[in-house]
Amino acid sequence: MQLIPAIDIIDGQCVRLTKGDYDQKTVYGEPLQMAREFERLGYRRLHVVDLDGAKSRHIVNVDTLRAITSETSLVVDFGGGLKTDDDIGRAFEAGASMVTVGSVAVTQPELFGQWLRKYGPERIILGADVRQGRISINGWKEDSAEELLPFLRKYIDMGVTNVLCTEISKDGTLSGPAIHLYKEVMAAYPDLHLIASGGVSSEADIQALSDAGIPAVVFGKAIYEGRIDLARLIQSHRC
């Protein structure tokens, strides 16, 4: 299973929200310092979210992204506020290896398709943030009419191979991941590289996802709250 630590950024600081609520924010320190620690322990991937960008609908924390990619060897996927050609270009110019795009896939499917063709499916991750079975957009501030499985089908048919799926009701709660949801996705699309996100509270949760056949997991709050031994975890899973 691919293990992907997460860094969410507001005002240049590493933070975690609860259920995407900007009013329920906990600050955990400096992003570059955290990224260096992940690298020191042997992790190779990193998920970075520009929460300021998601809220303002354009990329904001590009300098923090550039610092992480220039001062570590981590393979970084970046999301949050990617709404235009300029936004995605700036993210790649700042060193992102991949970008996670969610809202544009809902609101501007033609533009998403252009990016998928231009950059390739290996560099574009489809973000599928789910609340009550429907895709949420714009920093989880709005719920669309798109239902998860048909939404995924549309873009898999266009060539998407990587999907980051977050169950919003679980995110930041440390209440355990929505394993049933990810199993449903994998049953429908067994060749998909699905990255599960939301609710991970322990190494046991990650093992349960692995046992369920989920290819990858993003996790953050459990790290910062000291619930996961990162050194032990990396020894027991392939990253």
Q: Which of 8, 52, 77, 205 is catalytic?
A: 8
User: 8 catalytic, yes or no?
Assistant: yes
Q: What pTM, to 2 d.p., does this model score?
A: 0.93
Q: Which of 77, 129, 171, 205 is catalytic?
A: 129
CA distances from 99 to 27, 116, 218 (A): 24, 11, 14
Q: What's the whole-number average pLDDT of the chain?
A: 94
Question: What count of other Cβ atoms lies within 10 Å of the Cβ of residue 47?
Answer: 23
Residue 70's SS3 state is helix
CA distances from 226 to 6, 33, 42, 220 (A): 14, 16, 18, 10
User: 77 catalytic, yes or no?
Assistant: no
189 phi and psi, to 5 degrees?
Answer: -135, 75
pLDDT per position as a tens digit, 170-223? 988 899 999 999 999 999 999 999 999 999 999 999 999 999 999 999 999 999
Strand 216-219, strand 124-131: pairing: unpaired
Alpha carbon distance 159, 87 (integer Å): 22
Per-residue pLDDT band at 159 (split at 50, 70, 90):
very high
